[in-house]
Structure formats: C-alpha cells, structure tokens
Amino acid sequence: MTDEVTRGVTRRQLARRTLALGGALAIAPFPAGPAEAAAPESRPTLRHGSPERAGLLPVHLRRLVTDAETFLGPSPEHPWYAGAVLLAGRGGTVALHRPIGMAVRYRSYDEKTDTGVEFPAEQQIPMAEDTVFDLASVSKLFTSLLAVQQIERGALELEGKVAAYLPEFGAAGKQDVTIRQLLTHTSGFRAWIPLYNAPTHEEKLQLIWNQAPLSPPGSTYLYSDLNLISLQLVLERITGCALDVLLREEITGPLGLRSTRYNPPASWKPRIAATEDARKPWSGLERGLVWGEVHDENAFALGGVAGHAGVFSNAWDLAVLGRTLLNGGTYGRARILRPESVELMFTDFNTAFPGDEHGLGFELYQHWYMGAMATPRTAGHTGFTGTSLVLDPTTDSFLVMLGNSVHPVRTWRSGSAPRVAAGNNMARAVAVRPARGRTAWFSGMASATNATLTLPALDTSSGDARLRCALWWDVEPADALVLEATTDGGASWRPVPFTTERHAEQDHPTGTVTGWSGRVWYRLTTGLPADRRLALRWRYSTDRLYVGRGAYVDALCVGTGDRVLFDASRPADADRIEAVGWTASMD
C-alpha cells in the first residue's frame, strides 16, 4: 500500500464509517492542498486500437453500431436522434469511435404537420468523431467532481449544512439540507422551477432561497436540477471563482480537455451538434433553432454557466474523463482526485432508496440507460439532449453515447432505447470465458423470454445422486434464473434448492439466483430427489423491460457415489441437452 492510500480513506475504512441511515458516510476532511500536489505514477492514457487489443469481441461492437443506426429511422414514429457519436473502449484502448447521422439537419420544426423542416442538403453537417455536444445534465458530473475536490481539500464537508456556506439558502425550511443531499438528490427539492421567468439574476436566486422542500431532507429521493444549481452557488462562494473558471482550472486544463467548456465561442459552431427549435409551448423560451448555445432554459437564463447544465464536450474528452476516474483520479501524470475520493463518487449513498442508487453526482446500477453494463459499481449519467456516459469498474470498460435527440424537437424522443441497446452490446463485447474447456451454455440476453436448458431424464432412485456444475450470472433484479425438476415428463416443475460456493457457501432454498454475482464463476452443488425419471432444467425468465448480461452454465455432471449418470463433457451426453434460447457459447 502506498503512502498516498495510507493517508486517505481505504475501502475498509469507508465500510466502517457507513451509517445505518441512507448509506451516508461520516468522513473527516482529507488533507488540505491541491489535488495535483501529489505526484502520481503514470496511469493508462487513451489510444485508438483494435477490439482485440481492448479485450473486446469485435462482433458485438459492430452490432453496437448497427443497432444505433436503426434509431436514425422511425423509433417508433420519429428518429430518436438526427445523429450520434459512439465511443467504447476498455483499459487504455478506444476500440470504437464512430459518428453516425447528422449533426445539423433541421432548420426548424413544423408543429402543424409534426415534421422537421430540413436545411438544404449542402447546408447540413454530418456527425464527425470530434463533434461537440451540449451535454445537458451530464454537466452535473463536472460540478460534482469540483465539489468532491473541495471535500478532499477540507474546504467543504460532505455532511456539512448548505446554509453554513450559503446562509441565504437556509430559508423556507432548508436549514438542515446537507452537501451530501445535494449530491445524491435527497434534499427534498422539487425537480425543477422556471428560473428563466425571473427578470434579474438576484430574483432567480431568490426563487431558490424561497423554495421549501417537498419532503423532509433525507427522507426521499427526487432528482432535481436545483440541487446542482445550489451546489454551484456553494462552490462559487467558498472558492471566490465562477464555475466556468473552476472547470477550466481544476479539470479541463489539467486533463487537456480542449473541447470541453461552458459557452463555446462562435468559431466552434460548425462542429457543434444542433439541438431544438425552441419555441413555446414545448419550450419555456422563444429562441428558434438552438445551435452553439446551451439548450436548457434555466442554464441559458443563468448566462450559460450552471451547475446542472451548460457544459459542451465531445466523445473523446468524455472518454478521457471516464478513463481518469477508472484510473482512480489520474490521467497520465495529471491527478484531479485521489483514489479514495473517486471511491466516494462510486459509493451508493442511497441504500435507503432501492432502485435509486446514487454516488456523489454519479448514478449507479441503472439498467434503464446502462443496459446490461449495469452493476452495483457501474456509474454514469444521462443528459436530456441525448447524451450519456457509462463507466464499469468491474470490467474497466467505458461507453460514451452522444446524440442530438431534441433535434428538431424534444417531443420526438421517447425513453432510452438506443442507450440500452448500446449498453447491452458493450456488455456482451466483454467475453465470459468458460469455466472449463472451450464452451459453456449461455442463456442469451433477450427480454420477455423464458429460455430453458434441460437435461434428459435420469434414474436417481438410489437417493444419493448429486448435481455439480459451474454457474455464472448477472441478472437484472426483476429477472431470475431457477433450477427446476420434473418427474412427470414436464407436466409440472418444482424448484430444486442448491448451494453455490466461491469463497464461502451460499444457500439458495428457492433454487433461484438473481441480481449481480460479481462476474465470477461459482461452484453449484445439490442433492437430487430420488426418482426413476428425474429431469432437470435451468429456466432463465426475463421481463419486457431490461436484461442483465445473462447466465452461463458449464461443467454439468450428475452422479452417485459410484457412477456418473450424466457428464456434459461427453459428446453423447451433451447431444442429449435440450436448449431453448440457450446456446453453446465460447465467450
């Protein structure tokens, strides 16, 4: 362990300091001083390379692109985006960096016919690898990073009250709201208010001061732009610097993010993706085509610099940011955070609100846009304009998907299907090696499916028959993998309890596993009922919404004390397996 880690908060110390309520951490300030003061050892920097070099399967990266291209057409009625830039990689290798569609396509939106009025073909601009996007709420990650830097330096306390830094904030029952609650959206703030209707900056702030919580602070999760706007005001008060200056000096400058900033200059406009034809009633302001300026109305009214929105960036810069965090806060020889600070950002503080897992700024374990990349450690965020960033520390992989999905109008987009499809394909691109031999049975990743893997009827009447196999699963929590048996030729099935073991044994009395297992193989054993014609099956059931990475079964063997009844490694036995929806996969 290095001196740097010894001085900070280790994972074990984090666990010891976890409080019972809300997963909050009671931490002391980290040593004061700029994050870059410590000289870090060099960590991976990004380079383009092949999928093989990244340890990814090319076929699934190709599928990621082809699936993304389908959303350029009706999905279901209108294109989900006019275009997008896709970037995916693992370790220090960017294995996919592909633009699709158009960055600028529509001049305006015709609400009478619900159609986009296109620019002449020669004035349209195709997507490019370096196209710059309005990140919308992905901007919240930058504000959160700046806040965690101040926590690291001792200038801000995670459990400190916001009113201790901004006395005006304490009005209307907000005196007990903490910095942590702003970062985890548990402050009680309503989701949004139209600050842009207030004529002066002071009156906009007064609207925030006068806002009363909808619920007691810490009692509920409610995603709110007001949390990050308030955090911006805290940061500007304690540092004496505007948020855009902090971003440049503390993040984009040290990391060399040359295409990331608030309020891009006019010279950038030809390489910026256009957003919406912003007009009432669907927009709060009458602005016409928004192109090169922030789309969010409140951020626009705040001068383009806001804690919740306003940052422009491109796919490469976001990948560098993601690589920095996966590296523990360093990129090359630049450090913006210590590893223990990154750990805080990826720690679930919202254990009291299952389904709304949240670190400091980062959302965690959200299948609705991460797809099968989602694990309890997977961190990410989305933006209303069609942007997203997903980081999976368990596989050291990252996915950037930047689309202009409000171009020409916000009502054309619906849900996050393109993000889910990209996340599923990226997860599938990370191979799962068989526990033994060259192949293992794989459930697939289809939604609304019952996939079954059935062994032939066996004579277990001796009473001492046991099943042994290797089991791997990463199952979306609403789905399940169950081991079942039948003695009547399949007319009825009943669960078979089993035990899994890796470092310790775990009983599964209902014969079921679900959720995330850590992306490792487990040994499964169970005694089998005595019957002359006992058949076993694995049934993988998924709902119609989202899926995990799926399930794998390998090294199947059924035997008694003195003989083998079934061994999948024997070709004759393997041929007797009935697989519906399962395939013999090499990865």
How do residues 453-487 score in pLDDT, each as one tens digit? 999 999 999 999 999 999 999 999 999 999 999 99
* pLDDT band, residue 41 (cuts 50/70/90): low
Instruction: Answer yes or no: are the C-beta atoms of 526 and 471 closer than 8 Å.
Output: no
Q: Which amino acid is at 121?
A: A
State the greatest distance between any 2 C-alpha atoms of the chain, in Å, as a whole number.
86
Give me the pLDDT at residue 30, please. Answer: 37
To the nearest 10 degrees (0 to 180), the angle between helices 201-210 and 225-239 is: 120
Statement: residue 16 has pLDDT above 60: no
Q: How far apart are CA 53 and CA 286, in angstroms?
A: 49
The closest of 464, 455, 452 to 529, measured between CA atoms, is 464
Mean pLDDT to the nearest integer, 334-352: 97
Burial class (CB in 10 A: 0-12, 13-18, 19+), 533: middle
Place of tokens 């015709």: 110
Statement: residue 38 has pLDDT above 90: no
User: Within 10 Å of residue 338's Cβ, how many Cβ atoms?
Assistant: 25
Q: How far apart are CA 184 and CA 359, in angstroms?
A: 6
Q: How far apart are CA 424 and CA 447, in angstroms?
A: 11
CA of 555: how far to CAs of 57, 460, 552, in Å?
A: 23, 19, 10
Instruction: Answer yes or no: are the C-beta atoms of 405 and 386 closer than 8 Å.
Output: yes
Give me the pLDDT at residue 320, please. Answer: 98
Instruction: Answer yes or no: are the C-beta atoms of 247 and 262 closer than 8 Å.
Output: yes
Give me the pLDDT at residue 120, please. Answer: 98
* pLDDT band, residue 541 (cuts 50/70/90): very high
CA of 353: how far to CAs of 4, 22, 23, 221, 315, in Å?
A: 33, 8, 10, 7, 32
Instruction: Answer yes or no: are the C-beta atoms of 106 and 78 closer than 8 Å.
Output: no
- The count of C-alpha atoms lying within 13 angstroms of the C-alpha of 413, restricted to the half-sphere facing its C-beta, is 25
Give me the pLDDT at residue 29, please. Answer: 40
Mean pLDDT to the nearest integer, 372-377: 97
Statement: residue 292 has pLDDT above 90: yes
- Using the Cα atoms of residue 339, residue 345, residue 351 and residue 357 in order, give the sign of their dihedral: negative
Mean pLDDT to the nearest integer, 555-577: 95
Give me the pLDDT at residue 44, please. Answer: 78
Statement: residue 174 has pLDDT above 60: yes
pLDDT cut 70: percent of the chain above it: 93
Give me the pLDDT at residue 42, please. Answer: 55
Give me the pLDDT at residue 8, please. Answer: 35
User: Within 10 Å of residue 334's Cβ, how many Cβ atoms?
Assistant: 19
Beta bridge partners of 392: 397
Statement: residue 6 has pLDDT above 50: no
Statement: residue 393 has pLDDT above 70: yes
Q: Which two tokens mark 271?
A: 């390489």
Helices (H) and strands (E) in the chain, counts: 17, 32
For residue 161, report the phi and psi dihedrals to the nearest 5 degrees.
Answer: -80, 140
Statement: residue 14 has pLDDT above 50: no
Per-residue model confidence as pLDDT tens digits over 492-532: 999 999 999 998 999 999 999 999 999 999 999 999 999 99
* pLDDT band, residue 28 (cuts 50/70/90): very low
What b-and-e string marks burial along 536-556, b requiring 16 or more CB atoms within 10 Å of the CB? bbbbbbbeeebbbbbbbbbbb
Per-residue model confidence as pLDDT tens digits over 134-152: 999 999 999 999 999 999 9
Q: How far apart are CA 513 and CA 555, in angstroms?
A: 18
Instruction: Answer yes or no: are the C-beta atoms of 163 and 170 closer than 8 Å.
Output: yes
219 is catalytic: no
Mean pLDDT to the nearest integer, 272-300: 98
**Catalytic position from the list 50, 108, 137, 585:** 137
The closest of 367, 363, 369 to 350, measured between CA atoms, is 363
Per-residue model confidence as pLDDT tens digits over 78-108: 999 999 999 999 999 999 999 999 999 999 9
Statement: residue 7 has pLDDT above 90: no
Q: How far apart are CA 308 and CA 299, in angstroms?
A: 8
Q: Which amino acid is at 393?
A: P
Q: Which two tokens mark 331?
A: 């990129």
Q: Which amino acid is at 342?
A: V
What b-and-e string marks burial along 429-452, b requiring 16 or more CB atoms within 10 Å of the CB? bbebebbeeebbbbbbbeeebebb
